[in-house]
């Protein structure tokens, strides 16, 4: 007789021929519990970072490095109008902003340098452009601040004195509302960055607005093949020296991916690059990164596993405990969203609308991560970015902006960006 469980259904694993029922049941139990433990470990580490290790992340002087000691380099393919808007957001005290482009463009208020087609190095895509600039463009300032073509600075008056300074990311909505919601979810998760100054190897970096001490850049260089050059740089720097990392409070506003397809491909690239470069990490850090990737990909199935435990309790030892833990762990994804809503200063009255779609945001993120695990890439397509949006439209779609943060052009078009 086959035990059909409390609901009278025959578990699929019991229908597989030639394998004892007890063996399959044990394998299923081990798989479900192992997955839950991995997910629980990653979630616990996030909680420790956010609520314990993040202590003191704002204690340093956020403007110890003055604007006169920073060289800004804006990276682009050839998105002239998008870059113009970014250059216009750079404080006037920075008198010599530079644009590093793949094609010649005309930008008011900045010197444009074009990466020669015949320039060869180990780095690829954006990393290649950064490496060319490092080799060819003199820098007499102590720091180099790298900006993506769509990164807007607001209230920027200096940097904390550290080796690597990450500006806080704040994506804006341009087209897709769902991708914007996904970005709010991600920014909530990235609260863990506030603890990165406490660890030897920060888990990742966002190259859209990152400052590097020029002396350190000369030691490490960008001359390695990678599709996540920003994270790779910080890992290689940590391997060479005891780096001082800081997260700056100033927000750098970039654009959320315009479509779900582009967002999923972006997540796929992030995971692929992390997998390819994981050997740069010490062995003690690699299980942490591996666990993060796996749990990122499996987030949507945690409640599904809980349902399996509920429907087939005989197949899983301590199924009631498993059901409770899976529910609690999946509940953490809603905490990520709440943190994101707090960061975006959304009114509590509208939180429910974002919380309701949180499972969909989790699914979208996981699709990209799972794709990156199953089919890693060593290159990537450019992501379309909106060149400019009507001021009224940008304020309507991003009400958290203040008047002085929304001085944008009035023409709209779409141009490519590889980030």
**By the 8 A CB rule, do 105 and 125 touch?**
no
What pairs with residue 359 in β-bridges? Answer: none
Element containing residue 151 per DSSP (H, E): none
The C-alpha R_g of the chain, in whole angstroms, comes to: 23
**By the 8 A CB rule, do 152 and 85 touch?**
yes
pLDDT at 26: 78
SS3 76: coil
**By the 8 A CB rule, do 372 and 352 touch?**
no
Query: What is the residue-level pLDDT of the chain in tens, covering all 419 positions?
Result: 444 444 444 454 444 455 555 777 778 788 888 888 989 999 999 999 999 999 989 878 889 999 999 999 999 998 899 999 999 999 999 999 999 999 999 999 999 999 999 999 999 999 999 999 999 999 999 999 999 999 999 889 999 999 999 999 999 998 899 999 999 999 999 999 999 999 999 999 999 999 999 999 999 999 999 999 999 999 999 999 999 999 999 999 999 999 999 999 999 999 999 999 999 999 999 888 988 888 888 888 888 877 777 777 776 777 788 888 988 999 999 999 999 999 999 999 999 999 999 999 999 999 999 999 999 988 766 666 665 454 445 556 666 655 444 443 333 334 444 44
Count helices and strands (H / E) in the chain: 13, 10
Alpha helical stretches, state H, 190-318: 214-220, 229-240, 260-277, 286-298, 301-311
- CA dist., res. 298 & res. 36, Å (int): 10
What pairs with residue 145 in β-bridges? Answer: 72, 211
- CA dist., res. 390 & res. 222, Å (int): 37
pLDDT at 9: 44
| Lookup: tokens for 159 | 């940097």
pLDDT at 360: 94
**By the 8 A CB rule, do 333 and 389 touch?**
no
| Lookup: tokens for 334 | 């809603």
> DSSP label at 53?
I
Q: What are phi and psi of 96, to 5 degrees?
A: -135, 55
Q: What are phi and psi of 249, to 5 degrees?
A: -80, -25
Specify burial of residue 225 (Cβ count, 10 A radius: 0-12, 13-18, 19+): middle
CB neighbours (10 Å) of residue 382? 14
pLDDT at 93: 94
Nearest alpha carbon to residue 374 among 299, 321, 297: 297
């Amino acid at each position: 007789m086959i035990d059909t469980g409390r609901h009278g259904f025959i578990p699929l694993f019991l229908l597989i021929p030639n394998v004892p029922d007890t063996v399959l049941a044990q394998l299923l139990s081990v798989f479900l519990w192992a997955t839950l433990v991995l997910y629980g470990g990653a979630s616990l580490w996030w909680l420790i970072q956010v609520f314990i290790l993040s202590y003191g992340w704002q204690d340093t002087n956020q403007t110890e490095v003055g604007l006169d000691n920073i060289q800004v380099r804006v990276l682009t393919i050839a998105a002239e109008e998008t870059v113009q808007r970014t250059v216009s957001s750079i404080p006037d005290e920075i008198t010599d902003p530079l644009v590093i482009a793949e094609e010649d463009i005309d930008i008011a208020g900045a010197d444009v340098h074009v990466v020669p087609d015949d320039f060869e190095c180990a780095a690829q895509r954006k990393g290649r452009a950064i490496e060319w600039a490092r080799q060819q463009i003199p820098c007499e300032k102590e720091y180099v601040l790298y900006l993506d073509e769509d990164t807007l600075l607001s209230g920027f008056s200096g940097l904390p004195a550290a080796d690597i300074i990450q500006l806080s990311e704040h994506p804006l909505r341009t087209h897709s509302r769902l991708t914007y919601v996904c970005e709010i979810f991600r920014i909530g998760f990235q609260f863990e960055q506030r603890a990165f100054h406490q660890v030897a190897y920060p888990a990742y970096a966002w190259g859209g607005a990152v400052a590097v001490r020029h002396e350190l850049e000369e030691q490490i260089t960008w001359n390695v093949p990678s599709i996540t050059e920003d994270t790779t740089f910080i890992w290689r720097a940590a391997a060479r020296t005891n780096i001082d990392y800081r997260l700056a409070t100033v927000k750098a506003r970039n654009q959320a991916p315009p479509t779900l397809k582009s967002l999923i491909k972006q997540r796929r690239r992030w995971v692929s690059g992390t997998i390819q470069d994981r050997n740069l990490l010490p062995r003690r850090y690699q299980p942490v990164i591996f666990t993060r990737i796996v749990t990122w990909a499996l987030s949507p199935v945690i409640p599904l596993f809980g349902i399996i435990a509920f429907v087939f309790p005989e197949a899983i030892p301590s199924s009631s405990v498993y059901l409770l833990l899976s529910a609690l762990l999946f509940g953490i994804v809603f905490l990520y969203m709440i943190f994101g809503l707090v960061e975006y200063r959304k009114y509590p009255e509208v939180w429910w609308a974002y919380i309701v779609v949180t499972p969909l945001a989790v699914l979208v993120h996981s699709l990209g991560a799972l794709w990156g695990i199953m089919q890693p890439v060593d290159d990537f397509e450019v992501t379309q970015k909106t060149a400019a949006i009507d001021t009224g439209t940008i304020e309507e779609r991003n009400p958290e902006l203040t008047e002085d943060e929304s001085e944008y052009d009035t023409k709209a078009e779409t141009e490519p960006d590889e980030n």
